[in-house]
Amino acid sequence: MIVRKACLFILAASVSTAGAFVVPSFGVSEGLRTACSSPSASSPSSPPDRFLVSVAMGAEADAGAAPEKSDASPPAEAKAEEAGENKEATKKKAPPPQADVVIDVSKLDIRVGVITKAWEHEEADKLFCEEIDLGEEGGPRQIASGLKAHYGVDDLMGRKVLVLANLKKRKLVGFPSHGMVMCAVNEDGSKVVFVNPPEDAEIGERVMVDGFDGEPATENQILKKKMLDKIFPDLKTDEDGVATYKGVPMTAGSGKCMAQDGLANAEIS
């Protein structure tokens, strides 16, 4: 039995013409070589031990086979550590918080316009319907104004006015109004007058306030951030009837915007 197991390590064997095994030498001990070629392992009169040769060749194939790859999954601790690293990397890539937007009169797009057409609203007792030219490519805007208690239709035709232009279009008693005519209102609301631009102000010109420069907000921003609630309280006429924001005059053309009849200390909306 020992002889047979030892011969399993032999990688090749050949049979001599006399019928005995001849074992090649490649580092195998002399005792092992002698054992495998001794008469007790195979007699001269009997055929070679084919079973022994085939087993030896099988052992050689097994010895040269590559080790199998492990399919074992990484341990749970490694997965958790990797997930934590990915989460930390995501946090580092997050953009910094944006600074709060400064809301002041520069966010209002107030334009000089001229009323080209006006008529009474058919269903609303207080509204005029107007077409106002702001110099836009799309033509005059339609705007509704609650001025019937203070003006007649003839007072509106051909008048230059200030229009808050970056307001979303909305229906007033069914009439699509896109903008607002700026007026000065006294404390008890009994008097409402137009805020007039200087005579040389051009149609479509933007009204500015010194020290409050910047691009106007979008219509959506005006509504979403409730900008009118934050800006309108600081729009007033001074003691001379000059339209101001925080005491600074509103200007267009070469001069200041004024409330009609010099209405002083009035709110502008």
Residue type, 74: P
Block residue for tokens 């002889």: 3
Predicted TM-score (pTM) of this structure? 0.65
∠ CA 133-137-139, rounded to 5°: 40
Report pLDDT digits (tens) over 73-85.
Answer: 556 665 556 666 6
Dist. CA 226–CA 141, nearest whole Å:
23
CA 207 to chain centre: 33
**Percent of the chain having pLDDT more than 90?**
62
Element (H, E) at 52: helix 50-64
Instruction: Assess whether pLDDT exceeds 50 at residue 135.
Output: yes
Query: For the purposes of burial, counting CB atoms within 10 Å of the CB of 107, is it exposed (0-12), middle (13-18) or buried (19 or more)?
Result: buried
Report pLDDT digits (tens) over 110-124.
Answer: 999 999 999 999 999
Report pLDDT digits (tens) over 146-178.
Answer: 999 999 999 999 999 999 999 999 999 999 999
